[in-house]
Amino acid sequence: MSEPRVLVIGGGLAGLAATMRLAELGIGVDLVSLVPVKRSHSVCAQGGINSVNAMTRQQGDSEWKHFDDTVYGGDFLQHQPPVKEMTEWAPKIVDLLDRLGVPFNRTPEGHRDQRRFGGTLYKRTAFAGATTGQQLLYALDEQVRRWEVEGKVKKWEFWDFLEPVLDSSGRCRGAVCQDMVTMAFRTFAADATIIATGGCGLVYGRSTMSMVCTGSAASRAYQAGARYGNGEFIQVHPTAIPGADKLRLMSESARGEGGRVWVPRTPHDARDPRDIAEVDRYYFLEDRYPKYGNLVPRDIATREIFDICTTDGLSVEKDRLCVYLDLTHIPRETLDRKLGGILEIYEKFQGVDPRAVPMKIFPAVHYSMGGLWVDYQKNAAGGLEEGSPRNQQTNIPALYAIGECDYQYHGANRLGANSLLSCIFSGLFCASGVVASAHGSRKLAAEESTNLFAAAMRRQESRHESLLARRVGTENPYQLHLELGNLMTRVATVVRRNEQLTAAYAEVCTLEDRWKRCALSDSGNWTNQNVVFTKALGDMFPIAKLILKGALEREECRGAHYKPALAMPGIAATDLAGQYHEAQEWCDRFEQNTKRWLKSTIASHGADGDPQIVFEDVDTSLLPPRPRLYGLIGGELIEEVWKERQKKAALNGSGSAAGTAQTAAVAGPSA
Amino acid sequence: MIRAVEPSAGPNSSAASASAQPVAQRLIRVRVLRQDAPGQESYWERHAVPYELNMNVISILQRIAANAKSQDGRPVAPVAWDCNCLEEVCGSCTMLVNGRTRMACTALVDKLMEDNPEEIELRPMSKFPVVRDLVVDRRRLFRSLERVEAWMPIDGSYDQGAGPRISPESQEDAYPLSTCISCGCCLEACPQFTKIELVRHEDETVADFEKRRRSAFDRGFIGAHAISQAMLFNSHPTGQLIADQRLQAITAQGGIQMCGNAQNCVAVCPKSIPLTRSIARAGRAATVWAIKKLFDR
Ligand SMILES: Cc1cc2nc3c(=O)[nH]c(=O)nc-3n(C[C@H](O)[C@H](O)[C@H](O)COP(=O)(O)OP(=O)(O)OC[C@H]3O[C@@H](n4cnc5c(N)ncnc54)[C@H](O)[C@@H]3O)c2cc1C
Ligand code: SF4
Ligand code: SF4
Ligand code: FES
């Protein structure tokens, strides 16, 4: 074998997009996945995918505005060049998906229909019924199957990625994986390896994610030395259907199509919701955020729903927390046409028709903004240099990360329908650089000394065997997982408090200790799901720790990370002078906070197993940070004061708002 | 296949703390047809699981795995099964629940108990080789998708502008077909789709075995799901460009001519895909194509 090969771990949208493009670039790909790639978690996405389009353009929209919304929605925590590149690619990506046969909903004239999602004022989201993720995944799966028939791609389904193989210089030369049917180990020599293994929702026990979203692969890369960024930023989706085995998502598109969130003004009003008169209903999102209404960004919607139930005590039910999400004012035919699939889910699992009766929903863990740290190469236009081997590369040379398991695109909070985009974008975009990297190494991985691979394989074999030998343990892995999930959900979701985070960190260490005493109920070597799960559980602890430690150390509120003690409330004064004074103070504090905390949290796995955390600057060269004021009392005044300061700073040529002056030229809306 | 298993839905202090509370220590009796590995004898095993509100068959299997004891208290290896999304969209969890082929994640215990309060019976699909317990090998199902070239023959993934314009009516026609989750329920129910299970000979290489299996698959019935996919792609302006190749595939050995039109498939499809409509369309298209081919000769 004299040609370089690439190993792709994970066949969700990101992994499939990369595989398709790599095959097209002529490189052979081994594609490894825990499940048949067509069954990857991406099938669950319901709502849609964002891009600027001909219609929104005529309403004043542009790639630049999509970029701005994404950065503003993410509270400025993401490096800006990759986001800019992504939003510029977005229209082309949706066009490509259209060519791949995705059955996007259509207008009467035959164009793609669009809907509005949270955090924007434009109808940017293309959708295919209520199963957009499924449709996009299938389109890419089909192309990859086509490449498989051509012989360019070889799939390894029901295989578990265990460890990247690094040479003495620290370069990644492939990986050790395990066949989950025969339990056999195998090493893959690869000139570049791409991790595309999705989110880590299972660290929280139950979430909206699928059962393979354990974060195990990212954790294994992290434990091998890859840095992990912004781990503490976990998105809690405002609207999920509480369930015993899973918290099933109720897509944001339910609100996008006009769904209204409310609670009865009387706590636990026992009446049928349909009998509760308008005056007795509190549409709290519409009331508190007149501009965005029910479509405020996710972190805000989540906190408001959480708050109305806990602080205000207005939960619909007494014994469990939930609010109404009401679609009953919308005609049945419209609902069936636009939301059919997701309403069926509600009906299927709750046995109630949401077209007739308001749904009961509550927030649930949904998305990991954080993930493996990846690099990029900036170009002169402020976007990315295509073809650079640095794009999407982790700090381990020749090891890449794309999709939900990288940390790159969504900052402190992800906007709806932006993730399918970032997954496909990162997959397509990184391919040319990956090829360059694969061709760039001195020696082909396949010609690398066999000792290198044999040593890594032996390590994994002995880990496996020692687990199987643990027949007399005292702990049950499933029980430990339940405890871990409950703990993480309690302390590291909507509201974070330092005492709790500190205590939880100690508890996670105890759980990890107890894990070492797990007993396996299956010691066989054939389709042993017990041992596969126990391994994945063991790899959840390092992720849990970096989430907790990041949350503890980050002393501010930003996007999904919220510490009540550090919140910056709106203006309280009633007189004008007082208000103005408070607005000035607010802006001072905002500036200080930006200086101190507008930083990526970067965790490295320490020798003792604890995460070592450093904070690194964020590239805000295109768009200077500005206060995120959705719905804040006195927000207009603060905005005014802020703008004044910016103007002054620009006049002085420098000043506190770093970057404003020199980026003014780039920052204009692109034509 | 990695999965989390919750041993019990005890009080949960989570953000979404709406987990079901055990109502009473009522037990659900479950009978599972187990098989340790391919080629081995299958055997029945009984389990008893405490009843909880809003349970589905997946949560029963989760409790069984966490407990790892049979009904009479004997330690047993956890039952193996497939699942991922838990919302009937990934197609992983197909099995026979009380004799009926369906997705385990939407098999709600309360409903099952209404039909048969005595017991829930779980068996692996019978038309695919058992890997272990409830896990079966469904590679043949994906092979059928290759046979009908179920993809768009695009030039490449570089930007070439948007796809063809499509009327809302065509979209509404195509969309249901495009929601096929490759679960295989339609194949399990089909009298024409019979099990193909091969064993590797001692002196056979992996590659040779792979080849032999593939050719066995290619002689076997292609299945309703693949016929329907062929029709989906043949109805799209770009997909149509290789329509003849697909018609060739569905009329070759193991093709649509084997379909006895028993319509079992459509009755069990969890996505209510209009399979008989696809089959009828395919039949007509195949006839037209056969005549055309006759004249072209
Ligand atoms: C219910 C729900 C609805 C959503 N709706 C939307 C939406 O409308 N719009 C939007 O933009 N985003 C949405 N999202 C987010 C979006 O779906 C995900 O972020 C995205 O699909 C992730 O894709 P991915 O390719 O990164 O990973 P995934 O699709 O999760 O795929 C991961 C792959 O990695 C493999 N893998 C994992 N671990 C290992 C291992 N150890 N070894 C080998 N393989 C491994 C898996 O088998 C799988 O193939 C939604 C998310 C959820 C949970
Ligand atoms: S109609 Fe055809 S494909 Fe469907 S079950 Fe009957 S024989 Fe099988
Ligand atoms: S057609 Fe229906 S039953 Fe058959 S594989 Fe597809 S979804 Fe399953
Ligand atoms: S688990 Fe995905 S269909 Fe049942």
Model confidence pLDDT, tens digit, residues A58-67: 999 999 999 9
Q: Is A179 on the interface with B (CB under 8 A)?
A: no
Q: Residue A566: inside a domain, yes or no?
A: no
CATH number, domain with residue A164: 3.50.50.60
Give the end of a domain, one of A364, A392, A408. A364
Q: Give the B window 3-62 contacts with A, CB below 8 Å.
A: 3-9, 12-20, 36-37, 52-56, 58-59, 62
Residues B62 and B145 in one domain: no
Nearest ligand, CA A126: 1
CATH number, domain with residue A326: 3.90.700.10
State which ligand 4 atom lies nearest to the alpha carbon of B106.
4
State which amino acid sits at residue A290. P
Q: Residue A271: inside a domain, yes or no?
A: yes
CATH number, domain with residue B255: 1.10.1060.10
- Indicate the range of A231-235, A262-266, A440-444 predicted with least confidence: A440-444
Residues B145 and B237 in one domain: yes
Instruction: Report the nearest-CA residue for atom 3 of ligand 2.
Output: B224
Residues A20 and A51 in one domain: yes
Residues B103 and B146 in one domain: no
pLDDT at A664 > cutoff 70? no
As a whole number, the mean pLDDT across chain A is: 93
With a CB cutoff of 8 Å and minimum separation 6, the contacts of A140 are A13, A16, A17, A20, A100, A424
Chain A residues near residue B58 by CB distance under 8 angstroms = 245
CATH number, domain with residue B72: 3.10.20.30
ipTM of the complex: 0.93
Q: Residue B75: inside a domain, yes or no?
A: yes
Among B92, B127, B142, B183, say which to mutate for ligand 3: greatest number of ligand atoms within 8 Å of CB.
Answer: B183
Number of domain units in chain A: 4
Query: What DSSP letter does each residue of A415-451 carry, written as one string?
Result: PTT-HHHHHHHHHHHHHHHHHHHHHHSSS-GGGS-HH
Distance A267 CA to ligand 3 centre (A): 45
Residues B172 and B267 in one domain: yes
Residues A602 and A508 in one domain: no
Residue B24's pLDDT is 53
Q: Residue B245: inside a domain, yes or no?
A: yes
Residue A298 is a catalytic residue:
yes
Q: Is B260 in the pocket of ligand 2 (CB under 6 A)?
A: yes
CA distances for B265 relative to A523, B184, B274, B278, angstroms: 39, 9, 10, 12
Residue A296's pLDDT is 87
Per-residue confidence at B11, pLDDT binned at 50, 70, 90? very low
Check residue A561 and report its DSSP letter. Answer: B
Residue A121's pLDDT is 85
Q: How many CB pairs under 8 A join A and B?
A: 263
Q: Residue A463: inside a domain, yes or no?
A: no
**Distance in Å, alpha carbon of B295 to nearest chain A alpha carbon:** 31
B interface test, pick of A245, A344, A539 with most B CB neighbours within 10 Å = A245
Residue in A21, A138, A321 nearest the CB of B178: A138
- Residues of the domain holding A290: 237-364
Residue in B90, B171, B238 nearest the CB of A99: B238
B interface test, pick of A366, A468, A529 with most B CB neighbours within 10 Å = A529
> Which residues surround ligand 1 with Cβ inside 6 Å?
A 9-15, 32-35, 37, 40-42, 44-49, 132-133, 160-161, 196-198, 208-209, 212-213, 216-217, 249, 251, 366-367, 403-405, 417-420, 423
Residues A443 and A474 in one domain: no
Share above pLDDT 70 across residues of chain A, in percent, rounded to a whole number: 97
**In chain B, helix, strand, coil percent, each to 5?**
40, 15, 50
Residues B201 and B128 in one domain: no
Q: Give the B window 130-159 contacts with A, CB below 8 Å.
A: 131-132, 135, 138, 142, 145-146, 149-152, 154, 156-157, 159
Q: Residue B103: inside a domain, yes or no?
A: yes
B275's tokens: 């399979």
Sign, Cα dihedral of B207, B211, B216, B220? positive
Residues B101 and B222 in one domain: no
With a CB cutoff of 8 Å and minimum separation 6, the contacts of A299 are A235, A236, A412, A413, A559, A560, A562
Residues B177 and B291 in one domain: yes
End-to-end CA distance of chain A, in Å?
Answer: 49
Q: Kindly report the CA angle at B63 between A484 and A349, in degrees rounded to 5?
A: 90
Residues A349 and A383 in one domain: no
pLDDT at B12 > cutoff 50? no
Residues B198 and B257 in one domain: yes
**pLDDT tens digits for range A316-330:** 998 788 999 999 999
Residues A152 and A300 in one domain: no
Q: Is B95 in the pocket of ligand 4 (CB under 6 A)?
A: no
Q: Residue A461: inside a domain, yes or no?
A: no
Q: Residue B231: inside a domain, yes or no?
A: yes
State which ligand 3 atom lies nearest to the alpha carbon of B223.
4
DSSP H or E stretch at residue A162: strand A159-166
Give the end of a domain, one of A347, A364, A381. A364
Chain A residues near residue B34 by CB distance under 8 angstroms = none
**pLDDT tens digits for range B113-142:** 998 999 999 999 999 999 999 999 999 999
Q: Is A507 on the interface with B (CB under 8 A)?
A: no
Residues A348 and A258 in one domain: yes
Give the end of a domain, one of A314, A341, A364. A364
**pLDDT tens digits for range B231-280:** 999 999 999 999 999 999 999 999 999 998 889 999 999 999 999 999 99
Per-residue confidence at A349, pLDDT binned at 50, 70, 90? confident
Residues B109 and B94 in one domain: yes
Residues A214 and A329 in one domain: no
Of residues A298, A355, A628, A645, which has the active-site annotation? A298
- Residues of the domain holding B265: 138-153+165-296
Q: Residue A131: inside a domain, yes or no?
A: yes
Measure the CA–CA gap between B177 and B192, rounded to whole angstroms.
Answer: 21
Q: Is A600 on the interface with B (CB under 8 A)?
A: no
Q: Which of A285, A306, A314, A263 is nearest to A631 (CA)?
A: A285
Chain B residues near residue A533 by CB distance under 8 angstroms = 2-5
**pLDDT tens digits for range A480-529:** 999 999 999 989 999 999 999 999 999 999 999 999 999 898 989 999 99
**Distance in Å, alpha carbon of A363 to nearest chain B alpha carbon:** 6
Residue B13's pLDDT is 37
Q: Which whole number is the average pLDDT over A350-354?
A: 87
Number of domain units in chain B: 2
Residues B259 and B191 in one domain: yes
Measure the CA–CA gap between A10 and B77, rounded to whole angstroms.
Answer: 28
State which ligand 4 atom lies nearest to the alpha carbon of B181.
3
State which ligand 1 atom lies nearest to the alpha carbon of A210.
53
With a CB cutoff of 8 Å and minimum separation 6, the contacts of A122 are A52, A56, A59, A61, A65, A116
Contact A447, A191 (CB under 8 A): no
Residues A519 and A628 in one domain: no
Residue A311's pLDDT is 84
Q: Residue A128: inside a domain, yes or no?
A: yes
Q: What interhelical angle do A477-491 and A498-515 show, nearest 10?
A: 170
pLDDT at B5 > cutoff 90? no
Q: Residue A613: inside a domain, yes or no?
A: yes
Residues B278 and B144 in one domain: yes
pLDDT at A654 > cutoff 80? no
Q: Residue B97: inside a domain, yes or no?
A: yes
Among B192, B279, B281, say which to mutate for ligand 2: greatest number of ligand atoms within 8 Å of CB.
Answer: B192
Residues A483 and A546 in one domain: yes
CA distances for A604 relative to A219, A225, A226, A463, B142, angstroms: 11, 7, 7, 22, 41
A342's tokens: 């997701």
Nearest ligand, CA B89: 4
- Indicate the range of A209-223, A381-395, A438-452, B18-32 predicted with least confidence: B18-32
Q: Residue A295: inside a domain, yes or no?
A: yes
Q: What interhelical angle do A132-150 and B139-147 show, nearest 10?
A: 80
Residues A131 and A17 in one domain: yes
**Cross-chain residue pair B7–A181, CB shorter than 8 Å:** no
Alpha helices in A165-280 (DSSP H): 216-223, 253-256
**Distance in Å, alpha carbon of A658 to nearest chain B alpha carbon:** 37
Q: Give the A window 308-337 contacts with B, CB below 8 Å.
A: 320-322
**pLDDT tens digits for range A225-246:** 999 999 999 999 999 998 778 8
Q: Which of A396, A403, A393 is nearest to A368 (CA)?
A: A403
A35's tokens: 């499940």
**Distance in Å, alpha carbon of B54 to nearest chain A alpha carbon:** 7
Burial of A160 (0-12, 13-18, 19+ CB in 10 A): buried
Q: Is A580 on the interface with B (CB under 8 A)?
A: no
Chain A residues near residue B78 by CB distance under 8 angstroms = 521-522, 529-530
Per-residue confidence at B19, pLDDT binned at 50, 70, 90? very low
Q: Residue B48: inside a domain, yes or no?
A: yes
Residues B290 and B204 in one domain: yes
Contact A376, A392 (CB under 8 A): yes
Q: Is A527 on the interface with B (CB under 8 A)?
A: yes
Distance A186 CA to ligand 1 centre (A): 25
Distance B47 CA to ligand 1 centre (A): 34
Per-residue confidence at A665, pLDDT binned at 50, 70, 90? very low
Residue in A36, A38, A320 nearest the CB of B17: A320
Q: Which whole number is the average pLDDT over A8-20?
A: 98
Share above pLDDT 70 across residues of chain B, in percent, rounded to a whole number: 92
Residues A109 and A170 in one domain: yes
Q: Residue B226: inside a domain, yes or no?
A: yes
**Cross-chain residue pair B15–A493, CB shorter than 8 Å:** yes
Residues A255 and A347 in one domain: yes
A651's tokens: 């006049």
Q: Kindly report the CA angle at A547 between A543 and A553, in degrees rounded to 5?
A: 140
